[in-house]
Structure 1
């Protein structure tokens, strides 16, 4: 039986205080969640889901999801203004690609990437 990935669909983050996390992500994303229940909150971010789960706790070594952005520096500053903390400052990693990581106020690592060579089709 052949099987293959179709692409990423969802990144789920720990949200021990679901209401506070929902408020924080709503403020940053500028959109309301499309799914809002006491056990899970989901946002549609460019056709992908950013989920908040109150039953998870942030774990060391968890894979980092990098969210595509048009401007890493502007997004970096916006996240810091909302209370995220710096983990790895924006850096060029070659071929005009810039990456950075931050921690949201709930202990999750957020990756952001500016990659002019990657287009979702």
Structure 2
């Protein structure tokens, strides 16, 4: 049924500020912007080994409104070094949501809340590396 991650959508009251923040964090510009003129309502980045999509959506389009509190599902992005990734997020203005936590041998998670109220999860995950390695030989 579920075959893979397609797009993760984060919401922001100020899409332009969020675009700048994520461009700095990710080191790439969004590949897609809508509308192309004026203030964007949506920007999208392609990132990582599988070019997963991270979309920043104007909060006006949040399906159930926005809470002042960070919450909901946490999507974890693979990183080689959880503490370094968390430190980078914090250096850019995010606040720690969950300190690095070992979930079992080879699995460590942490998360931060970006300046726009979205939870960004980071994870070292041996399974991710196994899948990546098996696909490299395919």
Q: Structure 2-normalised TM-score? A: 0.80
Question: What is residue 28 of structure 1 aligned with on the other side?
Answer: 25
* 1:51 and 2:48 are equivalent in the alignment: no
Question: What is residue 116 of structure 2 aligned with on the other side?
Answer: 106
Contact 2:71–2:119 at 8 Å: present in 1 too? no
* 1:17 and 2:19 are equivalent in the alignment: no
Question: What is residue 37 of structure 2 aligned with on the other side?
Answer: none
| Uncovered stretches (5+) of structure 1, i.e. residues with no partner | none
Question: What is residue 87 of structure 2 aligned with on the other side?
Answer: 77
Higher relative helix content: 2
Please give the secondary structure, in 1, of the residue aligned with 2:16.
Answer: helix
| Alignment size in residue pairs | 118
Larger Rg: 2
Please give the secondary structure, in 1, of the residue aligned with 2:22.
Answer: helix
